[in-house]
Structure 1
Amino acid sequence: MFRFAHLTDPHVGPLPRPALKHLLGKRITGYVNWRRGRRDAHDMDLLASLVSDLREQAPDHIICTGDVCNLGLASEWPSSRIFLDGLGTPETVTFVPGNHDAYVYGSLEGLMAALDPYAVGDEPGLTRFPFVRRRGPVAFVGLSSAIPTAPFVASGKLGRTQVKHAEALLQALAPEPLLRVVLIHHPPHVGGAPAGRNLVDAERFEAMIGRVGADLVIHGHNHTGSLAMLVGPDDRPVPVVGAPSASARGGTLTHRAGYHLFRVHDEDEGRFRISAELRGLGPDGAFGSQGPVDISGKAPGRRLSARARA
């Protein structure tokens, strides 16, 4: 059995004290928000406990779908690298960025230079995203929805070129005896987040999945556990699973610090099935299993219309 874990939005801290010259434009509003509450919403002791629980599960691979940074400061890049190094080697850990990693122009490029080994495919490509990493019976397809935005905006975008390349990759992978798992930060379905926080070209992503399909899509951004069901070719359900923030304090079960542990079951030669479990902070303050997540397609979820797939 192959197992992989998905964590997201750790917002690694503490935030280094920025120089005044770095608090221009969007960063000044972000810094004020961090001082007023965000720094208390993300607990590094909880994050350490989550990572400890994750290590005990010893998954074969670990996915982090972004927001290792808070304000996209250059001083945050080393701590982001230390965090990923603490999860495992670049061979066993895969990263795609989030909106806080691309907080202002230049932030994303600096971070990706620091995290390069964790966000490259098995084969050299003309562009960084999308990329493909084959691990066991799974092909992980990494996308980037991270773009710099105006103050008080946290939306993302894939762009026509990236979606086109992702479609070609997913199509090429379809005949292979493996599962195709798409990695992205923003919820990639229409209605997945409110305007100003959404993936602005979610409809384009949905239409692409409707044409070529995937076996699973995992994302972060909303800081809550979630499930949606898109529809692929031949009306096959494609589960879209969002994980809570890996460092979030309190709140309801789906808002507390947690991660998903996925198990790939070998049903038959060349045929596989994925099951999912939420692990994280329970009501008693201890980390552990919080129960299964039904990604079979029988659970309720938003379904992509046939018109959108055309």
Structure 2
Amino acid sequence: MPFTLAHLSDIHLSPLPPAHVLDLCSKRITGYLNWQRKRRFVHDPAVLGSIVADLKTQRPDHIAVTGDIANIGLEAEYAAGRGFLDALGKPEQVSFVPGNHDIYVAECARFAARAWGPFMTGDDGETFPYVRRRGPLAIIGLSTGVPTAPFQATGELGDGQLGALATLLDRMRDEKLFRVVLIHHPPVSDAPAYKRLTDAGNFMHVIARHGAELILHGHDHRDMLNVIDGPNGARVPAVGVPSASAAPGLDKDNAGYHLYRIDGAPGAWRCEMVVRAVSEDGLVTEVKREML
């Protein structure tokens, strides 16, 4: 039986909890105004509910969430986010990595660790990068969430994570596991520079030298498939999903999620991707499936 991994991202839970004036004496003020002006109409809790309900009917073996549960990093958002993660499954069934909205300002890293820590911890208790062995998979979680200036949504891995990632990729290859890398910011993007992963080139250099079987990301709110270089001519798919709460017709792509059905063995892995998305009439349907 294939191992089924579900992937969703950019949850952007709504409604936004009440904000005290002191909370907004920071970058949060620009995010708050943007939320009130636009984003609260895009991110629909009913749409998110439909996506999660449909995902559960698919009975995946594991669920990956690649960031942006929060919106402007209010402390109350992390308790709500924990409720969302708990509703998806137990920490051993759900792997999470944070996005830029989750680490919106400096204090958010503490909020995230306290509320979501069990979902972003490896088999040996380690954090970023962490590794979780699930069936034939080695799920490797990275954090690109860093506090940034107003009007910036960049991400960064840093030399420490990149060096540790290289070691983990080699070790998981030697264990003959299918290596899935979870990251919020895409390694390849046509987004403006203020939204990109600043050390994407360094990340791709690690993949080119050490390999991976699959990279999953969010951030751009689009269905995306890019193929990047691995070692010895290998090609590594980097796949993004839309926001899981995007109301039809109001974001770059309608809300959706992906399923990956993985079987085989090293040198002969098979990975089928199934794309499920909300249609204009609000139903979640299969859009396409393809082998990666």
Distance 1:212 1:62 in 2: 25
Give a deviation string over 1:152-182, Cα, whole Å, max 9, x none.
Answer: 1000000011100001100111122220000
From 187, 195, 198, the counterpart of 1:197: 195
Q: 1:6, 1:259 within 8 Å by CA — same for their partners in 2?
A: yes
Indicate the percent of aligned positions where both proteins have the same amino acid.
47
What residue in structure 1 maps to residue 222 of structure 2? 224
The reply on whether 1:289 has 2:271 as its aligned counterpart is no
Distance 1:270 1:36 in 2: 50
Q: Tell me the TM-score normalised to structure 1 length.
A: 0.91
The 5 A counterparts of 1:8-87 are 8-87=9-88
Residue identity opposite 1:130 in structure 2: P
Q: 1:72, 1:108 within 8 Å by CA — same for their partners in 2?
A: no
The reply on whether 1:7 has 2:2 as its aligned counterpart is no
Residue identity opposite 2:207 in structure 1: I
What residue in structure 2 maps to residue 173 of structure 1? 172
Distance 1:11 1:285 in 2: 18
What residue in structure 2 maps to residue 235 of structure 1? 233
Shift of 1:25: 2.0
Q: 1:280, 1:290 within 8 Å by CA — same for their partners in 2?
A: yes
Q: 1:155, 1:197 within 8 Å by CA — same for their partners in 2?
A: yes
Q: 1:177, 1:270 within 8 Å by CA — same for their partners in 2?
A: no
Distance 2:12 2:251 in 1: 19
Residue identity opposite 2:7 in structure 1: H
What residue in structure 2 maps to residue 131 of structure 1? 130
What residue in structure 1 maps to residue 275 of structure 2? 278
Mean CA deviation greater in 3-12 or 107-116: 107-116
Give a deviation string over 1:111-143, Cα, whole Å, max 9, x none.
Answer: 121111100000133xx2000000000000000
Distance 2:218 2:238 in 1: 11
Task: Specify every segment of 5 or more residues in structure 1 that has no aligned partner in the other structure, as ranges.
Answer: 296-310
What residue in structure 1 maps to residue 156 of structure 2? 157
Q: Find the residue that maps to 1:174 and give its secondary structure.
A: helix
Distance 2:57 2:289 in 1: 18
What residue in structure 2 maps to residue 118 of structure 1? 119
Q: 2:248, 2:279 within 8 Å by CA — same for their partners in 1?
A: no
Q: Find the residue that maps to 2:101 and give its secondary structure.
A: helix
Q: Tell me the TM-score normalised to structure 2 length.
A: 0.96
Task: Specify every segment of 5 or more residues in structure 2 that has no aligned partner in the other structure, as ranges.
Answer: none
Distance 2:221 2:106 in 1: 24
What residue in structure 1 maps to residue 181 of structure 2? 182
Shift of 1:275: 1.0
Rate the CA distance shift 1:252–1:104 in 2: closer, same or farther, 3 A: closer
Q: Find the residue that maps to 1:99 and give its secondary structure.
A: coil
RMSD: 1.5
What residue in structure 2 maps to residue 109 of structure 1? 110
Q: Find the residue that maps to 1:196 and give its secondary structure.
A: helix
Give a deviation string over 1:204-255, Cα, whole Å, max 9, x none.
Answer: 0011100001000000000111010001001100000000000001239970
